[in-house]
Structure 1
Amino acid sequence: MDPHAQAPSHTPDLDQLADFLADFPAAELPPEVVARTKLIIADCVGAIVGGAAEPEMAALTGALAAPDSGSALVIGTGHMVPAERAALLNGTAGTWLEMDEGNQFSRGHPGMHALPAAFALAETRHATGMALLAAVALGYEAGARVGIGTRLRPTMHPHGTWGVICAAVAAGRIGQVDAAGMRGLLNMAPTLSLATSRRTMLEGATVRNSFTGLAGQTGVLCLAMLGAGVTGERDGIGHVFGRVAGEDFDPRALSDMLGSRWEVTRNYFKMHACCRYNHAALDAVQLILAGEGGEIDPDTVARIEVDSYSLAVELADPAPANTLAAKFSLPFAIATTLIHRDSGVHSFTWDAVRDPAIARLAARVVLREDPAMTARLPDQRPARVRITLHDGQVLEAATRTNRGDWSDPYSPDEIRDKYMSLATRCWSVPHAEAVHARIMDLDRLDDVAALGQLMRNPTRAA
């Protein structure tokens, strides 16, 4: 008896998606999909290496990564662990700095859910670079489509929910499962998604950073469970995301323009080291700074007014408790950007959180929802910032959407520079450059283990 066999699902959209995910030839990925997936993989690797430098990640890795206990790399370190543990640690590190890419239409981060599972299995199974590219692109596609079709409960954080599907599908591609097996993964993975709390990000509960890592680990586990004959429910996606974790699910999202519209090509990249909902306002702040010669004396600022969409103005705490909460505070993000004249990683450190000048300026920020801006979601994420100085001068700028969105993209050079700024938190410049070059050449790589070896020891890898 086929261990993957189940009663008919009566879900034609799910069946169509499963067939597509299992059967689409890696060699037939459109060139623009291959190119974009390389950028996404490099961006994720940079975020993982950057996050690996954080003290909590170093401690967690030390606790979970016994030396030479497996054949999958904990990226940014020299530790080798089993694939499922590598997916856990790499996925957790990758969200620590809040710099990983995302997809505005799914309202989440498919790349960091797909890559850690795909890379760990591709490395341990000696898959080709092209197989890794296909696994990430198709895992991204599956999870993003579920996110697009889902109206999550407002109390849920999206990380670790539909992202487990990204990981399971990516694992299935590396494992070369057939259409029946892919359908089994799509039905099994949703039941293993996390009951995530949105409060974690607002309160700065850093357990939130593990959600993507746990999803990656679960994706690897799903592949093993599938091979052992474990089955899921008949319509795991529709039930879990329509009635359990979500309030509604539209199955048409699974098949709409399937094969002609690729979600990796509609992704965004981040340059501000904080929640994406802050970015439109920060783009406006940077426009104002540019018009003022790059600097505004914070002592001259009387009031900062921000009009934006609902999800942005929800991030209203002017006195965040820690660095994670700071990344989800729009008043703090604006204040630290004005004072540091930059919105990178160093603007969201403990030193910044404890800086009284930033706290004073954040207290002068007023947030207001503009319903017309909210109505423009998800296609656009607008904001308007108005800075009033004590002398009565008003500085103002507005943005239609975030820089880095698919409609206003960063250049490949800008994305590479971001990667370098993060990767060099753990690696030397030559090491980071060599890894980036190898990722950009993935479609010609015979064995992903060679990329892992290069990441671990650049002097020994060919």
Structure 2
Amino acid sequence: MGIVTPGVVPASRLVADAAPAWLEDWTAFAAGLSFADLPEPVVARTRLVLLDCLGVVAAGMQEPEMRALVDRLAGRRPGAAVAIGSGRGLDPRDAALANGAAGTMLELDEGNQYARGHPAIHVVPAALAAAQERGASGPALIAAIALGYEIGARIGIASRLRVTMHPHGTWGTVGAALAVAKLHGADAAAIGQAIGIASSLGLSTSRRTMLEGASVRNTYAGFSGQLGLAAWDLAASGFTAERDGIGTVYGSVIAEDFSAAAMTEELGRRWEIARNYFKRHAACRYTHGALDALAAIVAEAGGRIDPEAVRSIEVETYVWAAQLDHPAPRTMLAAKFSLPFALAAALVRGAADVAAFRDAARADPRILALARRVAVREDPALTAQLPGLRPARVSVTLADGRRLTAETLTNRGDAEDPYADAEVVDKFRDLARPVWGTARAEAVVRAVAELDRAEDLRPLLALIA
């Protein structure tokens, strides 16, 4: 039997520098970048992404699992790092875990369609913990988040995860590590070691967790933040990374066809955080095109369709959305990954908001009956339009024989059809006011808006604690 893994070429035989060219370019770029180098649209979008993350984390922190987890972590290893919206202080590693997990609980975290994942919720919790520990300024935090987002998203763009993998907990770990290293003032060599170490620390995530509604999936992003902090500690302590760990892991281990060129294409000119998306439907983004199409049908019908008058709903969409076809989900997370349930809940309740997926909605006989009348199938022609477009075609057949149809090419909130900044701020208010009250929520809005001029993060941290 042949050798499965080729031998390693001795260092003396390697040509020129040990690191691949793309990685040298990246580490030099990251080390040399200052806040002043960021274009104003990138600064503005980073502030908005941070505000969005704070809202979804604070709201998600109120879920019973999160309250129980924070209580356990605080009892075992208390600290000063902010667990957003919990009123508790944690060790920085535990705060990153808790904040990342809370940020995915409600399925409202922002994302990047080109990376096919959610960069910010992996990066922001680690960056906040490191910034608090370092006493960093607002501009330093913004630069670190933008950089961490950038490298994580670009790995997602440059590679194709195996179809059995869930993207949470994978390349986000590298993004978290870079943000932390930047906040610690690391030079190019130290940044290279930190992100190289982080490439080996990603989780072996299962895509089935989301389909089955197993809420361990919500911890993946939290572990990325925690492991990003650990990667910096290891690098600063002298641990070393594989020569091109990112290329290996994302080219042959958990993904294939890693494109090194994509890592540096327009680097410093095209910023991934500036072409992100925000979410208003509290469900998997794969459901959003169909939900938007259904909303268009309802609006065209005068603002309401009686669910009892619906004979059937047919959905044609791309392959990943077509997978979400289970009509009777057993958990809140599973409901968020069910197109039949999401559409039925939106039609019965008027919106696919947070409450639409809770226990009361999942026990509503009107929603359950309508969900069984929803059929979902893939249209290969729609799949072919990925990743730039996320199309869906919805047809509602009424009991009187009328057939109402609508089609969407993009999700509302995508870079091609973005929400206005004010709409994203309103989303924050909707999530934050039940946690902090109106006055404090508005104070957070102001503090984040002024973050690029803040020499001290303590006022913002006090508000979100």
TM-score range, shorter chain: over 0.9
Q: Does the 8 Å CA contact 2:201/2:227 hold for their aligned counterparts?
A: yes
Match of residue 393 from structure 2: 384
Deviation at 1:440, TM superposition (A): 1.0
Q: Secondary structure at the match of 2:440?
A: helix
Secondary structure of the structure 1 residue equivalent to 2:248: helix
Match of 1:365 among 357, 371, 374: 374
Deviations, residues 60-79 of structure 1 (Å, cap 9, x unaligned):
11111239932211000221
Question: Among residues 117, 130, 135, which one is paired with 2:139 in the alignment?
Answer: 130
Is 2:268 the counterpart of 1:259? Answer: yes
Cα distance in 2, alignment partners of residues 53 and 343 from structure 1: 19
Runs of 4+ more than 2 Å apart? 5-10, 66-69
Q: Is the 8 A contact 2:62 2:86 kept in 1?
A: no
Distance 1:455 1:156 in 2: 33
User: Of residues 42, 59, 73 in structure 2, which corresponds to 1:50?
Assistant: 59
Question: Aligned residue pairs: how many?
Answer: 452
Aligned partner of 1:207: which letter?
V
Aligned to 1:38: 47
Q: Which runs of 5+ in 1 are unaligned?
A: 457-462
| Alpha carbons 1:313, 1:369 under 8 Å: kept | yes
Q: How much has 1:10 moved relative to structure 2?
A: 4.4
Report what 1:279 is aligned to. 288
| Residues 14 and 43 of structure 1: CA distance in aligned 2, closer, same or farther (over 3 Å) | same
Give the partner amino acid of 2:164.
T
Equivalent position SS for 2:100:
helix
The code of the aligned residue for 1:36 comes to R
Aligned 8 A contact 1:171 1:223 in 2: yes
State the partner residue of 1:348.
357
Please give the alpha-carbon distance, in whole angstroms, between the structure 2 residues aligned to 1:274 and 1:188. 33
TM-score by length of 2: 0.95
The answer to whether the 8 Å contact 1:52/1:426 transfers is: no
Shift of 1:454: 2.2
How far apart, in 2, do the equivalents of 1:65 and 1:406 lie? Answer: 39
Q: Secondary structure at the match of 1:295?
A: coil
Deviation sequence 1:42-84 (CA, Å, 0-9, x none): 0000000010111111111111123993221100022112211
**Distance across 1 between alignment mates of 2:167 and 2:136:** 30
Deviations 1:176-208 (A, max 9, x none): 110001111121101100000000000010000
Q: Does 1:95 align with 2:104?
A: yes
1:242 aligns with 2:256: no
Do 2:159 and 2:259's aligned partners in 1 also have CA atoms closer than 8 Å? yes
Counterparts of 1:438 and 1:278, CA distance in 2: 33
Paired residues of 2:85 and 2:464 also in contact (CA < 8 A):
yes
Aligned pairs (5 A) from 1:90-239: 90-239=99-248
Q: Does 132-141 or 66-75 show the bigger shift?
A: 66-75
Q: Residue type of the partner of 1:424? A: R
Q: Shift of residue 123 of structure 1?
A: 1.2
Please say if residues 122 and 449 of structure 1, whose CA atoms lie closer than 8 Å, have aligned partners that are also in contact: no
What's 1:454 paired with? Answer: 463
Partner of 1:460: none
Match of residue 432, structure 1, among 427, 430, 441:
441
Tell whether the 8 Å contact from 1:67 to 1:81 is kept in structure 2 after alignment. no
